[in-house]
Amino acid sequence: MKKKNVEEMSEADLAELIAGAQKELKERLTGKRKEVIAQIKALAASIGITVELSAGESGTSRRGTKVAIKYRNPADAAQTWTGRGVKPNWLRQLLEQGKALDEFLV
């Protein structure tokens, strides 16, 4: 591959170069993970142990997990709260008026 001076490249060419480099890096890392997993399985098998490993992403992500609604404003059904995080203003105001939190359970 012919090397170019990045200062002379257009924005579109730079974006294409970066995207290609990111793709190549991801492919190389995936390949290395698969190699290491194969080595681990081979070593484990050599001593009579079986292991189950995958080359996928490590860990689990809870980001984006929806939580069920626990509380609803009786005056405006669109205003809800899951019971997590800071209490919304509408609920705080109703509680200050002497209402009980249980009154708003869904």
Minimal CA–CA distance to 74: which of 44, 100, 43, 36?
100
DSSP 3-state of 71: strand
pLDDT digits (tens, 9 = 90+) for 14-70: 999 999 999 999 999 999 999 998 899 899 999 999 888 765 555 566 677 888 999
Q: Does the global pTM surpass 0.85?
A: no
